[in-house]
Structure 1
Amino acid sequence: MKKYLLILLSFSSSFIFSQKVESRRLTKQEIAQRELENLTDYPIYRAFEFSDKGGVYELVLGENQKVISKKDTLNTKIQAVCVINDHGGFLNQWKINDFLEDTLPKETKIWFWTKYCSTKDIDGDGLIEPVIVYGTRNEDGYIRRVKIITVYKKKKYVIRAVECDFDNCRSFEKDQSWNTLPQKIKTYINQLTEKMRKEQNVLLKNG
């Protein structure tokens, strides 16, 4: 009996630690099938399902689509929600909320920059480290704020940037805990930041 239990425990452990790390974007039909609409306060803009040795997760990105202009949908608030599947239900893991700030020139839009978001196992530890990127645009059409949020072991590590033509109103700040991240993750985010600079003509720097 003891031998059987040891074999069973060994098999279970092997299954848990050998579980594949996978991620994919969900279709509208899959979002409805999984009943994810109620996870966020706003209409779902994009949703992902990913799995690692910790379990199976659903990540939804919601934008409130508050103002519809002739050219674009203008969001004033956004929300990202990550949950884990738990015996047919969902358990909250973490959440991100943000909204337009009262600035001059006035901010008119906030949106998830999904081109730069990712759900990857960056450091190869068998756990996915989601990276959420979003920005704001002002009434002159220029990007004003950029946030890059890395979630590592359920804790958020944030880079906050403000774009401005003048040195005294431009900023690029990393959380004080940033340096505690594994080097592979820091390297990945630094490369992502450089890619955004080149592709979007943003400065992402201080002064």
Structure 2
Amino acid sequence: MKNSFIFLFLLYSTILFSQKTTDYLLDKKEISQRELNSLSNFPIYKAYEFSDKGGVYNLVLGENQQKITKKDTLNTKIKAICAMNDHGGFLEKWSINDLLEAYEPKETNIWFWTKYCTLKDLDGDGYIEPIIVYGSKTEYGEVRRVKIITVYKNKKYVIRAVECDLDYCRSFKKDAAWNTLPQKVKTYVDQLVIKLRKEQNLLLKDG
């Protein structure tokens, strides 16, 4: 009997501490079924559902689609919202808001760079650390700003970059609290920065 109890305890412990995290992209029907449109006052660009030891979450990325042309959709504002379903409503855990800024040359578009966004458990603690990447472009089609936001335990850690050919107007800054993140998380984001530099021909550095 004692051996059976020990076996069950070890089995339960193994299941508890090896719980897998999951994430997947929702289609339009699933967005409607979950009533996620109520979370954003912007058209939903993409929405995800992910789960970890903390529960099941929905992440909605909204872009206001201010101008739609044959070639592109231009946004002046974006918003990301992460929420849990709470007794028929939504409990917001965190959000991100941004809009075009008055730079010269003029910014004409801001958008979520979902190719580089991730929903992964980066440090192996059973909780997902969302990474949200977005950028802005100028009227000449060049990338102007890039932001990489890491959400760790519902707190945001931001890297802010401004691209410019001239040293004085170029910048790359990490939040003061950046070094408090787990090393595995910092390493992943540092590698992501290298990837962005290589694939998008960006400088992502101070002047």
Distance in 1 separating the partners of 2:174 and 2:103: 22
Give 4+ residue runs of structure 1 displaced > 2 Å after superposition: 10-20, 85-89
String of CA shifts for 1:112-150, please: whole Å, max 9, x gaps.
Answer: 000000000011000000000000000011000000000
State the Cα distance separating 1:18 from its structure 2 match.
4.8
State the Cα distance separating 1:14 from its structure 2 match.
7.4
State the Cα distance separating 1:13 from its structure 2 match.
7.9
In the other structure, the counterpart of 1:190 is: 190
Other structure's SS at 1:176 match: coil
- Whether contact under 8 Å (1:61, 1:79) holds in the other structure is yes
In the other structure, the counterpart of 2:179 is: 179
Amino acid at match of 1:118: T
Amino acid at match of 1:57: Y
1:65-144 equivalences in 2 (<5 Å): 65-144=65-144
Distance in 2 separating the partners of 1:38 and 1:14: 38
TM-score (norm 1): 0.91
Are residues 192 and 80 of structure 1, via their aligned partners in 2, closer, same or farther at CA, if it must alter by over 3 Å? Answer: same
State the Cα distance separating 1:16 from its structure 2 match.
5.6
TM-score (norm 2): 0.91
1:131-170 equivalences in 2 (<5 Å): 131-170=131-170
State the Cα distance separating 1:203 from its structure 2 match.
0.4
Q: Which ranges in structure 1 are unaligned for 5 or more consecutive residues?
A: 1-9
State the Cα distance separating 1:72 from its structure 2 match.
1.0
Give the aligned CA root-mean-square deviation in angstroms: 1.9
Amino acid at match of 1:109: N
Distance in 2 separating the partners of 1:78 and 1:17: 36
Amino acid at match of 1:197: R
Amino acid at match of 2:101: E
How many residue pairs were aligned?
A: 200
Distance in 2 separating the partners of 1:112 and 1:123: 24
Q: Which ranges in structure 2 are unaligned for 5 or more consecutive residues?
A: 1-9
Distance in 2 separating the partners of 1:206 and 1:18: 41
Give the % identical residues: 69
State the Cα distance separating 1:88 from its structure 2 match.
3.3
Distance in 1 separating the partners of 2:57 and 2:44: 16
